[in-house]
Amino acid sequence: MANYVSHQTAAQATASTLFKSVYMQMAAALSITGLVAYFLSQSVAFWTMLAENSSLIWIIFIAQIGLVIWLSARFTQMSMTTATLLFILYSAMMGVTMSTIFMVYTMSSIAMVFFITAGMFLAMSLIGYFTRMDLTRLGSILFMALIGIVIATVVNIFLGSETLYWIVSYVAVVVFVGLTAYDTQKIKHMLMEYGTPDEMGQKLALFGALTLYLDFINLFLYLLRIFGDRK
C-alpha cells in the first residue's frame, strides 16, 4: 500500500512538472503566431505578394492542415528536437494565415477578444485539471459536434447563409470551451499514466501543448467572429 501511494505521489509530481512544460510550450507557440501575424500585417511587401498571388494563403492553409495531421500521427517516432522544430514551423505558418484578421478587424477588438479568450481558456483548463468528474463522455459528444461544425462551415461556403454563419459561430465557442476542459483532463491523465519525465514524456507534453494551442486558436477565432469590431 505504501509503495502504491509513493508511486501515485511520484506520478502526480511528474505530471505536474510536465504540465508546466505544456503551458510554457503552448504560450511560446502563441507568441510566435502572434508576432508573425502582427509583423506580416504591417508589411506592404507581404500584402502586395498576396494581392499578386491570391492562392498563396490557401496553399499555406492546406500545408498547415497537412503538417498538423502528420505531426499528430508521427510525433512518437520523431526526436524531441524534430517535433519541437515542426511545432515552431506550424506556429509560424499559423501566424501567416492569422495575419489576415488585421485586414478585417480593428486592433483594439483583436486585443480585447484575445484577453477574453485567455480568461475563458484559463478558467476551463483549470476546471479540466482539477475536476474529479470524468469528462470522457463529454469529449465524445464535443468531437461529434466538431465534425458537425466542419460540415456546416463547408456547406455554408456555398450557401452563404448569415444565419448559419452565426449559429456555427456560437456553437463552436461552446464546443471549444468544452474541449479545453476535456483536453486538459485527458492530457493530465496521459502524463500521469506515463509518469516518467524522459524524452517520450517531453514529447507527450509537446503533443499536449499542440492540442491546447489548437483549442485556444479556434476559440479565439470564433469569439472574434462574434465580438470583433470589423473595419
**Predicted local distance difference test score (pLDDT) of residue 4:** 45
CA–CA separation, 98 and 150 (whole Å): 19
Q: Which three cell numbers stand for residue 19?
A: 504540465
Instruction: Please say whether the beta carbons of 78 and 199 come within 8 A.
Output: no
Q: What percent of the chain has pLDDT over 70?
A: 94
Q: Which of 220, 183, 176 is nearest to 22 (CA)?
A: 183
Query: Tens digits of per-residue pLDDT, 111-168?
Result: 999 999 999 999 999 999 999 999 998 989 999 999 999 999 999 989 989 999 999 9
DSSP letter assigned to residue 105: B
Between 8-12, 20-24, 131-135, 191-195, the lowest mean confidence (pLDDT) is in 8-12
